[in-house]
Amino acid sequence: MGSLPIALTCGEPAGIGPEIAVKARQILGAEVPFFWMGDPRHLPPHTAHRLIHRPAEAMAVPANELPVLAHPFAAPATPGKITYANARGVVEVIARAVDMVLKNEVAAICTSPINKKVLKDGAGFGFPGHTEFLAFLARVEQVVMMLAAPELRVVPATIHIPISEVPRQLTAEGLEATIRITEAGLRRDFGLTRPRIAVSGLNPHAGEGGAMGTEDARVIAPVVAKLASEGMAIRGPLPADTMFHPRARATYDVAICMYHDQALIPIKTIDFDGGVNVTLGLPFVRTSPDHGTALDIAGKGIAEPSSLVAALRMAHHMAEARVRQP
Ligand SMILES: NC(=O)c1ccc[n+]([C@@H]2O[C@H](COP(=O)([O-])OP(=O)(O)OC[C@H]3O[C@@H](n4cnc5c(N)ncnc54)[C@H](O)[C@@H]3O)[C@@H](O)[C@H]2O)c1
Ligand SMILES: N[C@H](C(=O)O)[C@H](O)COP(=O)(O)O
């Protein structure tokens, strides 16, 4: 896999994906070999690109050109304006990239942002997002969404569900599996021999001894105690509002949070441009930028490519490490 490129899926063609892919190539050059999978018509005008027919050909494309593995879409794309007819192509590209990585034709997958509702309405996409779709395609029971930046790693134990659903879907079994997958992923892919794990509470002040909710004592604490008794370096449930200042962040390697925004607000506040979404528990490496389609700025030339650059670099380093240490 060491000499294979990364497949970068196009994501929502009306979003900022195509333009940040071009910027990422300009920044990375030959440092991180990748190709863009999508409809060449969706690239910004005058993009210097080279059509390839097989992933391996990307390795020979000059650094100042974007290697493109074409995938036909139903319609052209207008930045900022959704074309529902293109939804199916977005899904097809993701599935095609998974097929390639499972056949070891590419080193890893990096996914450009999708618009979940557009895929649902336009293509009957039945998953909350990439994470669940990739687990389905890889036939994996449970995976973990981790957002990683140099100063912070976070994992939401529940992801794309309504807040009103969180207490019901936050189970001891699911939380335990999330923490085990996270701990294993940090050891395997991030070189941590004994990851330090901080687990947040669900309720204010981690339930205030039961005065502000019972999930902390009833669901979270027993999981932490069980994993600690097995020797895991784990603490919690902790009051979430004092977990993310610098001194607190220095005491752990990952924060396990109970729901989407409890995890994603701190990391996107601390390092929006450096954060990377990485899926743990898949049989292949997958990363993604930590932002979405940004339709409001698509096509204006002001989209920041840094998170995509960080995601491509992380995928490259993780894939290379897995070649060295399978
Ligand atoms: N990795 C992914 O696939 C991913 C991640 C997050 C959101 N989404 C999806 O994207 C769609 C829009 O989501 P949203 O509005 O909550 O979040 P968003 O990240 O698309 O946009 C939020 C705000 O941040 C700005 N922004 C985002 N990325 C930027 C960049 N690279 N440079 C400069 N500014 C940037 C946008 O202009 C917008 O004002 C939704 O359908 C959501 O589900 C996808
Ligand atoms: N929750 C993610 C974020 O805000 O960055 C995002 O929606 C991506 O989810 P998938 O990778 O599952 O599409």
| Distance from Cα 280 to the centre of ligand 2, integer Å | 13
Does position 1 have pLDDT exceeding 70, yes or no? no
Q: Tell the residue number behind the tokens 């949070």, with chain if given.
A: 257
- Dist. CA 105–CA 121, nearest whole Å: 32
What is the structure's pLDDT at 326?
A: 80
For residue 190, what pLDDT band results from cuts at 50, 70 and 90?
very high
Give yes or no for residue 131 CB within 6 A of ligand 2: yes
What is the structure's pLDDT at 325?
A: 82
- Side-chain half-sphere CA neighbours of 275 within 13 A: 21
pTM for the model stands at 0.97
| Distance from Cα 290 to the centre of ligand 2, integer Å | 7
- Side-chain half-sphere CA neighbours of 103 within 13 A: 11
Residue having the nearest C-alpha atom to atom 24 of ligand 1: 294
Sequence ranges of the domains in the chain: 1-141+281-326, 151-270
Does position 2 have pLDDT exceeding 80, yes or no? no
Q: How far is residue 105 from each of residues 98, 111, 134, 214, 326, measured CA to CA in Å?
A: 10, 16, 17, 49, 17
Helix (H) or strand (E) holding 119: helix 116-123
Nearest to 110 by CA among 192, 184, 191, 38: 38
Question: What digits encode the pLDDT tens for the residues 34-57?
Answer: 999 999 999 999 999 999 999 999
Give yes or no for residue 83 CB within 6 A of ligand 2: no
Ligand with the closest atom to the CA of 292: 1
- Dist. CA 272–CA 304, nearest whole Å: 10
Residue 99 CB coordination number (10 Å): 13
Q: The tokens of 233 are what?
A: 């370096």
ipTM above 0.85, yes or no: yes
Residue having the nearest C-alpha atom to atom 31 of ligand 1: 304
- Dist. CA 265–CA 169, nearest whole Å: 21
- Dist. CA 231–CA 233, nearest whole Å: 6
What is the structure's pLDDT at 107?
A: 98
Q: Tell the residue number behind the tokens 């977005």, with chain if given.
A: 90
CATH code for the structural domain at 151-270: 3.40.718.10
| Binding pocket residue ranges, ligand 1, CB within 6 Å | 16, 113-117, 130, 277, 288-289, 291-294, 296-297, 303-304
- Dist. CA 168–CA 87, nearest whole Å: 32
Instruction: Please name every residue paired with 200 in a beta bridge, in sequence order, or none if there are none.
Output: 238
- Fold type of domain 1-141+281-326: Isopropylmalate Dehydrogenase (3.40.718)
Please answer whether residues 283 and 138 qualify as being in contact, where contact means their C-beta atoms are separated by less than 8 angstroms. yes
Nearest to 127 by CA among 119, 110, 294, 265: 119
Q: Which sign, positive or negative, has the C-alpha torsion 145, 98, 42, 64?
A: positive
- Dist. CA 47–CA 19, nearest whole Å: 9
Nearest to 217 by CA among 233, 204, 241, 201: 201
Q: Do domains 1-141+281-326 and 151-270 have the same CATH topology?
A: yes
Residue having the nearest C-alpha atom to atom 5 of ligand 2: 290
Q: Tell the residue number behind the tokens 């070999």, with chain if given.
A: 33
For residue 3, what pLDDT band results from cuts at 50, 70 and 90?
confident
- Dist. CA 147–CA 286, nearest whole Å: 12
